[in-house]
Amino acid sequence: MSEKILMKGTEAVAEAAARAGCRFFAGYPITPQNEMPEYMSRRMPEVGGVFIQGESEVASVNMLFGAAAAGVRCMTSSSSCGIALKSEGIAFLAGARMPSVIANFQRGGPGIGDIKPAQQDYFQATKAAGNGGFQMLVLAPCSVQEAVDMTFRSFELADKYRMPTYLLLDGMIGAMMEPVYFPEPVSEEEVKRIRESKTYAARGRKGGKFHQIQCGPGLDPNINQEELNIKDMAMYEQWQRDEVEYEMDVPEDSELILTGYGSSGRIAKSALQILRKEGYKVGFIRPLKVNPFPFEAFEKLNYEKLRGIVVAEMSIPPQYGVDVQLAVHGRTKIEMALSSGGQILERSLVIETAKKLYGEK
């Protein structure tokens, strides 16, 4: 473990990626994530990697296809509308089962929207990152330290499942500076071992097996597209068993639950402490991964005692809140504490919404 370093979120994610063995980064400027490709332009050559600023978001994400096809740990980053432009390339990565990491520092929308922080890409990340109904593991940090830790984890998960993995951040996490510890960097021997372990990768025939990287049934000539989709669905079901992660603090006497992900989850947790000091019986749920969604956490609640649930989210209309409604399935009242378009969610709104709901039983 390294010494504690004060770093900006975008730069900390970039440094974590380099230490995790990322050796190819392609990106394109867009606020509020510009510091990440800028940092990578310096850092990649230092670790023997390659940085390319593509001529567009579309070009950048498709460069990942080539790097991943060669067995290299690779990454791209953008913000909201930039990620939307990458959606076709992300679908191609998923279709060919190319491990890679995509980081989205969300900004306001829809369209060009606002360059300030928001959480309006939840559906895009968890439901429709591209055509064809594929899914990705979506990690959602609430601090710079979690962003560092989850970046490391994202590369491991991408290789484990041979799929692109998604980091769902926002402009607030990207812009804030916090002290962080970095794990020890992956050794060059390990970087080489990881690449050589990818027997599917196209690194030259060298007298051996011919490799061809392509989407769809080309992955396995013995099955058709529907059969491939069925295999993918089995993997997604495995994720629901094995990859669900969440933070849960729900005492037995809880009468109210606060929930949120990422920055909003962090804000809700600070509201939790204030409410408890004032005598309110409040619990807390925060997904660490928003896909697969932690339905099991909401199943553990005692709905006979609950007055309701407050969803904290920087999106209007709510998106994460829709999945909470699906999980709760009408068993208790749900109120939304929302902001959007670059307006940081106020803790006071979460507290006000909670107190109002608490008194309605």
pLDDT for 212: 75
Whole-number Å distance between alpha carbons of 136 and 124 = 11
Helix (H, G, I), strand (E, B) or coil at 195: helix
Q: What is the mean pLDDT of residues 50-65?
A: 96
Predicted confidence band of residue 360 (pLDDT cuts 50, 70, 90): low
Mean pLDDT computed over 264-271 = 98
Confidence of residue 308 (pLDDT cuts 50, 70, 90): very high
pLDDT digits (tens, 9 = 90+) for 230-265: 999 999 999 999 999 999 999 999 999 999 999 999
Closest CA to 99 of 154, 54, 178, 42: 154
Handedness of CA 40, 61, 243, 301 (dihedral sign): positive
With a cut of 80, say whether residue 71 has pLDDT above it. yes
Distance CA 62, CA 52 (A): 12
Q: Residue 76 pLDDT > 90, yes or no?
A: yes
Check: CB of residue 58 under 8 Å from CB of residue 86: yes
pLDDT the model gives residue 323: 98
Give yes or no on whether 5-242 and 246-358 have one common fold.
yes
CA distance 33 to 55: 17
Q: Does the pLDDT value for residue 95 go beyond 80?
A: yes
Structure tokens at 348: 């006071």
Q: What is the pLDDT of residues 147-158, one digit of tens each?
A: 999 999 999 999
* 87-110: average pLDDT: 96
> Is the domain covering 5-242 a CATH 3.40.630.10 domain?
no
Percent of the chain with pLDDT over 90: 89
How high is the pLDDT of residue 127? 96
Arch. (CATH architecture) of 246-358: 3-Layer(aba) Sandwich (3.40)
Q: What is the pLDDT of residues 106-144, one digit of tens each?
A: 999 999 999 999 999 999 999 999 999 999 999 999 999
pLDDT recorded at residue 62: 96
Q: What is the pLDDT of residue 203?
A: 76
Compute the distance between CA of residue 158 and CA of residue 142 in angstroms, rounded to an integer.
21
Task: Note the pLDDT of residue 218.
Answer: 67
Q: Specify the residue for token string 């790097």.
A: 67
Cβ atoms within 10 Å, residue 347: 18
Per-residue tokens: 147: 């962003």
**pTM check: above 0.85:** yes
Domain ranges of the chain: 5-242, 246-358
